[in-house]
Each structure stands twice: as structure tokens, then as C-alpha cells.
Amino acid sequence: MILFVDRFGELVNRRQRSLLRKNPDAVPIFLCPIINYINGSLRPYESQIEISVTLMTTFLISDIHLNKVQREIVETFLSFLNDGIRNTDMVYILGDLFDLWLGDDDARFPHLPVMDALRKATKRGVLISVLHGNHDFLLGKRFEKITGCRLLPDPSVIDLYGKRVLITHGDILCTDDTSYQKYRNRIHNSLYQRVFLSLPMKRRIIKAASVQNVSKEAVRNKPVHVMDVNKNAVERIMLTYGVQYMVHGHTHRSAIHEVSLKGETVVRIVLGDWYKKDAKTILVWEKDTFRLGTVTRAVQFYKTPLRASRLSKHRALS
């Protein structure tokens, strides 16, 4: 059986006998290696982002939740990779890049075009690091090899121009949600993952859909504060790692929080999601400042920042 992909990189139904006549952009997938199958007329769209940034700039994003239904999110993210990060040192994706990732053999849209765009970005020399989220915790070594991205453990401490910054997806901080923490421990168990990945893709899809339905129902019945981060968990992890700055996602509540800890001011930055058309959150971290802004496909890369801060006013934790 020969599989075909259309200009969006999506698999085309094999029953379409008149495929080539109706869709001249479609090509057999065996002619399109997974790491380099988009080129020329197969590019899904032309980028509309026009930006100007300097080096000594790092971008941090989270909770993009790429999926086959919301094409606008996919197109904005691909524009971001193709043009928005050309003059950037590093990009950190703090989990839930994909809304559902059922293994590195999951070739459903939009996985292939996104992996290709990531590969092209890393080939240009941009360092891209990725954390697992609760929707894409099965990202693995094949994903790393194909894209050139680096999967980091959660949490990780990174150096941003002389500042030690703790990054995490953020769900480990939601300790009040005990049922979720039990679920998280299970899905991150290596034996559980091996058994799940041994199943045929069709069975994985069915099981994942069932879990998602149960999860959505559980979320509807939980108080909002239970699903937010726990203050003590935040303080404990920042003290454990001895950091002054922490960046996380998961809660989708974009904000910059400054709190006093052991007599010092520490900063917790929360990244938002990419669901809303004009409110796709990005943290822009430069040598002396950081700011929360938004990514768009329009002329501006980020709009008026939601909040900016000078790094010089903060002192490191002892």
C-alpha cells in the first residue's frame, strides 16, 4: 500500500483513486522522508511574521497544544519556527507542544510538518530544548533524533545570561490535586509507557480518547484553586534548587509573580497557552530584561508586553 500526504503533511485517504488528478500537490510518502518531506510547493503556507530581534535573546513558550482541528495554531507555530526565531540563541518549550502524542511513531497531523520545521530550525543553529508535558509525555529519542531538539528532565535548571532559572512544565507544583498526581506518577512510569507503546496505534488512540474524556469530566468537577500550583510546593522547589527565577506553564494563567522567600525577592513566571488567536504567550528573555508578550502572524512579533522586569533589581538567593 502506498500512502500519500497532502500539502499540509496530512495523510490522504488511500481510497481516493483519483488523488493525483484532484490534488496535484499530493505525493507518495515514500518520496518524502520524515525528516525532509516538505519543500517547495509542499510548504503549508507562506509566513506572515516580520520581526527584528538581536542575539542574546531566548524565547520560552509552553502549552501550544498543536492538534489537527485548530489549524491556526499550527500555522502560527510553523511561522514562528520558520521566521520568528532566526536570530535567537535558544528556544525552550516547557511541555504540551502537542495536544496528544502517542509515541514517536505517531504520524498523524500535525506531527510531521512540525517535526520538519523543528529540524530546519535546529539545522540553522537554533538550540531548541523541550520538556515533557502531560499531553506529550511520550516524546522520545526518535523525536530528538529527527528534530535535533533536546529533551530535558523536568525540572531542569538552565543558565540564561548569568541567571540560574528553574524550568518545569508546572504540573508537579499542583500538589493539591492528589488524583492528578497519582495519574501523573502512573503515566511517567517506564513500565507503563513500554506496555502502552507496545500496543498498535489504533488501540493507543482509543485508550487515549477514553482517558481524555475522563479527564475532561474530572476537570469540570474540580474547584479551580485545586488545579493551580501550591504555594508551599513553589517555595520548596525554589529553595531546593537555590534559584531566584522559575518559569512554568500547565495552568495557562500567564503572569509574573514576585514573592518574598527567606528575605529575598524571587520571581515565578507563568506562561499562558496558544489557544486564543491574538494571545499566544511568549517569554522573551534578554541579557538584562525579560518580558511576557504574545506571538501573532501579523506584522508584530509580540505586542505590548504584559509585564516587563529589569533583572538587575533582583539579588540571587544565598
Checking if the pLDDT of 21 tops 90, the result is: no
| Cα-Cα end-to-end distance for the chain | 63
Average model confidence (pLDDT) across the chain? 82
Checking if the pLDDT of 50 tops 70, the result is: no
169 carries a ligand binding annotation: yes
188 carries a ligand binding annotation: no
> What is the reported pTM?
0.79
> Cis (ω within 30 of 0) for the bond into 113?
no
252 carries a ligand binding annotation: yes
Tens-place pLDDT, residues 62-89: 999 999 999 999 999 999 999 888 878 8
Q: Which domains are seen in the chain, by residue range?
A: 1-32 (no CATH), 33-312 (3.60.21.10)
> Once rounded to an integer, what is the mean pLDDT over residues 279-283?
90
Tens-place pLDDT, residues 268-280: 999 999 988 777 9
132 carries a ligand binding annotation: no
> Once rounded to an integer, what is the mean pLDDT over residues 243-260?
95
At residue 310 the predicted structure's pLDDT band, cuts being 50, 70 and 90, is low
Which of the residue ranges 181-190, 208-217, 289-298 would you say has the lowest mean pLDDT?
Answer: 289-298
65 carries a ligand binding annotation: yes
Confidence at residue 62, expressed as pLDDT on a 0 to 100 scale: 98
Confidence at residue 251, expressed as pLDDT on a 0 to 100 scale: 95
Q: Where are the beta strands (DSSP E) in the chain?
A: 4-5, 11-12, 27-28, 57-61, 90-94, 127-131, 150-151, 156-160, 163-168, 245-248, 255-261, 264-270, 280-286, 289-295, 307-310
How far lies 261's CA from each of 58, 116, 238, in Å? 26, 43, 9
Chain-centre distance for alpha carbon 114: 11
Tens-place pLDDT, residues 219-237: 888 888 889 999 999 999 9
